[in-house]
Amino acid sequence: MLLVSSVISASMAIIAFSGKGGTGKTTLAALSVKYFAEKDEVTLAFDMDPDAHLSKLLGLPLTKTIGHVVDHIHKEKKLELEPQKPVDVSDVEYFYSRVMSNVLIEGDKTDLLTLGKPSSDIDCYCPVFYWAEHAVTKILKSYKMPYMHIVVDCDPGTEIFPRKILDRIADDRGIDYVFTVLDGSRMSLDTAQDIVNEINKKHSNFGKVYGICNRVDDSKTQQLIKEVAKTKYGLEIIGFIPTDQEIVRRSLVNQSMMDITDSSAYEAMREALKSLHI
């Protein structure tokens, strides 16, 4: 990973992939990371789904998550899970150092941070989000944002939006784009609408929400989805990502997407990003 501030530029993009479960968020997030890596642009990939899979698609070895560190500080350091009073600087430093040494995976052009989940002794995700806010703020601030792009893979649905963690990422310069991945179903459009509503309610520093439709290959159906999305949901679709057997194959044999070639899905994802001048 490159630690020089000269890589910061106006074309930096912060993109969150959201949407209904199983629509292709993680896959499209990984293809976007690949696009940036090919342009030689350093990216922080942030897997915010407790059911974390992004590492596999990026070919990065995941051993520990922020959830593991929260477990550790709770059990061994006896720190409160969600302190009611301001947290000691030394506790934050300790937490941060463990995240940096155990969780942040530094790749060539891509670093990966994984939220994960706590062990079953802690039956709530809130502490993980609480502490992750500290980690994210610190990583972005103390590195002076060396990352040109941040790609966030959200968990399914709207759960992530009331949490403050996306706001912490957006603190400096906003989230540029929220892509809600659609699978052509009315349900995926309904989830997209819920996401838009959540964002409009509380997140003024979030940029435009776009729909991106995955695995709907029939042109007439695509046209219909475009119309319904626009007229009934006010949602603009920036791309149709085709069903791609190479993605199916790689997923089955647990092979990264980073060196994928001849991929119609990757080509379409690249065109969608280019259409936004990313």
- The answer to the question of residue 49 lying near ligand ATP (CB under 6 A) is yes
Residue 214 interacts with which of Mg ion, ligand ATP, none, CB < 5 to 8 Å by class: ligand ATP
* Residue 193 in contact with ligand ATP, rule: CB under 6 A: no
- CA–CA distance, 112 with 182 (Å, rounded to integer): 25
Q: Report yes or no: 59 and 226 within 8 Å, Cβ to Cβ.
A: no
User: How far apart are alpha carbons 113 and 151 in whole angstroms?
Assistant: 10
Q: Which amino acid is at 48?
A: M
Residue 160 DSSP code: T
Would you count residue 98 as binding ligand ATP (CB under 6 A)? no
Judged by CB under 6 A, does residue 25 bind ligand ATP? Answer: yes
> By CB under 6 A, is residue 187 in contact with ligand ATP?
no
Instruction: Give the nearer residue to ligand ATP in terms of CB position, either 27 or 193.
Output: 27
What's the min distance (Å) between Cβ of 168 and Mg ion?
21
Cα pseudo-dihedral 28, 203, 48, 139, rounded to 10: 110
Does residue number 45 form part of the binding site for ligand ATP (CB under 6 A)?
no
Structure-token pair, residue 259: 């060196």
Q: Which member of 23, 32, 43, 180 binds ligand ATP (CB under 6 A)?
A: 23
Q: Does 162 bind ligand ATP (CB under 6 A)?
A: no
For residues 169 and 157, give the distance between their C-alpha atoms in angstroms, rounded to a whole number.
19
For 240, phi then psi, to 5°, come to -115, 120
Among 23-31, 87-95, 121-129, 197-205, the segment contacting ligand ATP (CB under 6 A):
23-31
Q: Is 188 in the site for ligand ATP (CB under 6 A)?
A: no
142 binds ligand ATP (CB under 6 A): no
Site for ligand ATP, residues 236 to 275, rule: CB under 6 A: 241, 243-244, 247-248, 251, 265
Closest CA to 273 of 241, 247, 248, 245: 241
By CB under 5 A, name the binding residues for Mg ion: 25-26
Residue 114 or 140 having the CB closest to ligand ATP: 114
Distance CA 118, CA 102 (A): 15
- Choice between 142 and 243, CB closer to ligand ATP: 243
Q: How far apart are the first and last CA of the chain?
A: 21
Task: Please give the C-alpha separations between residue 96 and each of 2, 74, 139, 194, 213, in angstroms, as whole numbers.
Answer: 20, 14, 8, 33, 37
Name the residues that contact ligand ATP, by CB under 6 A. 21-27, 49, 156, 181, 214-215, 241, 243-244, 247-248, 251, 265
